[in-house]
Structure 1
Amino acid sequence: MSRPAADIDVHAVTEAEFPDWLRALNTGFLREPAVSPEEAEAARERFASHRLLGAFDGGRCVATFRSFAQELTVVGGAAVPADAVTSVTVTPTHRRRGLLTRMMAQDLAAAKERGDVVATLIAAEYPIYGRYGFGPATWTTEWTVEVPRTGLDPRWAGPDDGGRIDLVDGAEVRKLGPELHERVRRAQPGAVSRDEVWWRVSTGVVRLGHNWTEPYYAVYRAASGEVEGLVAYKSDDNWHDKQPHNTADVKWLIASTRAAERALWHYLCSIDWITKVKSGWRGPDDPLPLFFPDPRAARITTQADWLWVRILDVVRALEARTYDGTGALVLEVADRLGLAGGRYRLEVSPEGARCTPVRAEGADLSLDVGELATLWLGDESAVRLAALGRLREGREGAARLADALLHTSGRPWCPDIF
């Protein structure tokens, strides 16, 4: 007989409970449940500064939840403190008992108390997180490039702009990557911070599974010698009838200039025996296809929602970003968890923004806090959401004004999964 949900304890995971928490995490993600001592030690290093919650039924972990400190870049280049949510699982035997709701409420309340402006996550399943006030704020696209069709010169032997591409090892990536990434993410709304452990995990110093194989790493240096791009990629070994049909699979690619991007993609398409390149997760308006004489060589193989955002502080969130236009809106924000709801007057111009809680004024737009998150980074259209019934106009033309103020010419993008 199942224990009542109230008898299942939700609390911060202790050191003694950590191996059982890892086993529950693996079970929830359909991985091999067993955790070796080496894997447990690697996970301890990776999660050392993270906040771990678990639900325990009779001393056994049956649900997992993890969050950690993060910075999120907003429109204009400012960074706001975020509560990054991940490792969310519920064991199949304990579904539909409100365990996720309890863990999420506890974590979001703590994040609000700490002063985090937003919470973030990458949603494995679309329908889950809207009920907690999250909304999809960025999208991602993956391309598969048919190399013979690109029209690139097969005799290409390196950049013609004075730059150069070199293969490096993981140690060099750990030296060069963090500074480059800081430059890239400060210029990209939707990008998030990477700590030292991220680089250690991504270069194999910290290994959380059995299947680690080292990628190839290539760095692009401009003519000045400055590092402007890095890519990590793997390849398969696929031959038919004595002909190569190999695929280069990009794990991540970051670049601070279009010249670096162009050179790295051209490099990947010039590798002997490579006939396809899988781009990995790119921004939905990434110029990748336009780097080729024949853009049709790159076909979209995946397009999906990516970074979800939950606004915890409406005033700080709306004041943190920049705006190209001038205008004012009164927003009625509904929040079923009671963390960020209320009525706010937003006044913006290219010089800055002011957001003030108000009571007397009628609302120009009424929307859920999740819909506000969807609009906040500039990717979605308020007019489209109004047509779908996902927000309501209190004043005619308010949705068009919201688009003029909030929408951005470049789309936000989060290069990371966490």
Structure 2
Amino acid sequence: MSLEVRPVAESEFGDWVRALKTGFLRPPVVTDEEIQGRLPHVDLDRTLGVFDRGRIVATFRTFTQELSTVGGGSLGADAVSQVTVSPSHRRRGVLSRVMAADLATAKERGDAVATLIAAEYPIYGRYGFGPAAWTTEWSVDVTRAGLDPRRTGQPEDGGTIELSDAAEIRKIGPEVHRRTARVRAGVPNRDARGWDRGTGLGFQVEPWTEPFYAVYRSASGAVEGYAAYRVDDKWDDTKQPVNTATVHDLIACTPAAERALWRYLCSVDWVTTVRSGYRAPDDVLPLLLPDPRAARVVTHSDWLWVRVLDVAKVLEGRTYAGSGSLVLELRDEAGLAGGRYRLDASPEGAEVSRTTEDADLALDIAELGTLSLGDESVVRLGELGRVEELTAGAAARADVLLRASRRPWCPDMF
């Protein structure tokens, strides 16, 4: 099979979108309006098509991303998105060919990691990606939550909750988002297109329904969080409201803002159920309720996957609560980031260097991706046979160094 892999030309972009929709099993209809709406927001040099006799049979797009890491720093990332292979060309090595070329280019460009959100779990481990951040969604039965029905929707800390609109969220949201990324690992930056799409102010691929917006301001008047949510309109046979509020975006850069926004959402009249949207697995929501059992888990899954391309940038680009040293033997079949590395870390910083010392731990590069944002336990991976402990006690020492106090969270799909 002779296939051509190359960036698509502007004149081919409509065909590329059609192939994208075909791969995701969506109606393969593309309008001129959709092409003109999408086109300004893609870098055609990083929008790849796989051509079979002139027909696009696979899609692959990347863009520049900044990903927050433990301690508030950021890593330059090659964000991989819109990966499809048409049903007629599956299982022929098409994705392997494109992915290998892209990762090599990202490595040469100087990206610390590649990132993606996997449609299917088994696909990306073979390319060195590991699940670095998981996500959980809760459905809260407000009637069982135990919240005081006499409470108003206003916080009790001197702050305020005010209803707002898309224009204000577009103005204040980016700074709240940036501040949140400084206190939580796994948060990717949002570009202007992301904000326009998320507030309905730009071109929308799907039909847009305007949400409600609630903004939290501290007692000093500083904006510290906001929530975007939609509410359905349902009543039971006895004329009682049974409405569900579904959260589409809740960003809070302080604990006070997060608590206040959840309490507000659980106090809206006629709302009997709150769907949380995708949150970090250790979100405060369940334990914020007098009866945490009122929050039922409805989704729990892997979410953000990370492929380490530069070991030193990843391990030096985060903070460490304690001090210690580790020698890691990293296996990388693609030859991009393998080798033996020594990590010397302390609260003052970290240094990573190549070494010939005996290794403490041996692991595939995908497992380092899983560990990169402080979420997973090295001891647990060892028990699964995915990390080999070569020095007694090294896995426990690694956990002390690498694990973060809060689990990483990626609030966006990309």
Give the TM-score band, short-chain normalised: over 0.9
Q: Tell me which residue corresponds to 2:303.
A: 306
Letter paired with 2:72? G
The equivalent of 2:71 in structure 1 is 76
Tell me the equivalent position of 1:211: 207
Distance 1:159 1:376 in 2: 36
Partner of 1:330 in structure 2? 327
- Listed as ranges, the gaps of 5+ residues in structure 2 are none
Tell whether 2:160 aligns with 1:153.
no
Residue of structure 2 equivalent to 1:295: 292
Q: TM-score, normalised by structure 2?
A: 0.97
Mapped partners of 1:164, 1:50: distance in 2? 46
Q: Which residues of 2 match residues 364-383 of structure 1 at below 5 A?
A: 364-383=360-379
Could you tell me which residue of structure 2 aligns to residue 399 of structure 1? 395
Q: What does residue 340 of structure 2 align with?
A: 343
One-letter code aligned to 1:43:
R
Q: How far did residue 155 of structure 1 move?
A: 2.8
Q: What is the aligned-residue identity percentage?
A: 62
After superposition, residues 43-62 of structure 1 pair within 5 angstroms as 43-48=38-43, 51-62=46-57
What is the correspondence of 1:3-402 to structure 2 with a 5 Å cutoff?
4=1, 7-48=2-43, 51-157=46-152, 158-241=154-237, 242-359=239-356, 361-402=357-398
Query: Aligned equivalents of 1:277 and 1:55: distance in 2?
Result: 43
- Give, in whole Å, the separation in 2 of the partners of 1:54 and 1:209: 20
| Offset from partner CA, 1:207-242 (integer Å, 9 cap, x none) | 332422111111111121111111111111222212
Q: Distance in 2 between matches of 1:30 and 1:318?
A: 39
- Given residue 95 of structure 2, which amino acid in structure 1 is its aligned partner? L
What is the one-letter code of the residue matched to 2:92? R
RMSD between superposed Cα atoms in Å = 1.3
Runs of 4+ in 1 over 3 A off after TM superposition: none
Distance 1:262 1:75 in 2: 22
Q: How many residues align?
A: 412
Residue type matched to 1:44 in 2?
L
1:46/1:206 contact within 8 Å kept: no
Asked whether the 8 Å contact 2:6–2:48 carries over to 1, the reply is yes
Report the AA paired with residue 287 of structure 2. L
For 1:291, the aligned partner's letter is: L
| Alignment partners' CA distance in 2, 1:406 and 1:258 | 23
* Aligned twin of 1:417: 413
* Secondary structure in 1 matching 2:60: strand
Gaps (5+ residues) in structure 1? none
Q: Which whole-Å CA distance do the structure 2 matches of 1:384 and 1:37 have between them?
A: 51
Distance 2:376 2:41 in 1: 34
Distance apart, 1:153 and its partner CA: 2.1
CA spacing shift, 1:206–1:32, aligned 2, 3 Å: farther
Q: Does the 8 Å CA contact 2:8/2:44 hold for their aligned counterparts?
A: no
Deviation string for 1:339-361 (max 9, x for gaps)?
101111111122211111123x2
Q: Summarize the Cα distance change of 1:160–1:393 in structure 2 as closer, same or farther, 3 Å threshold.
A: closer
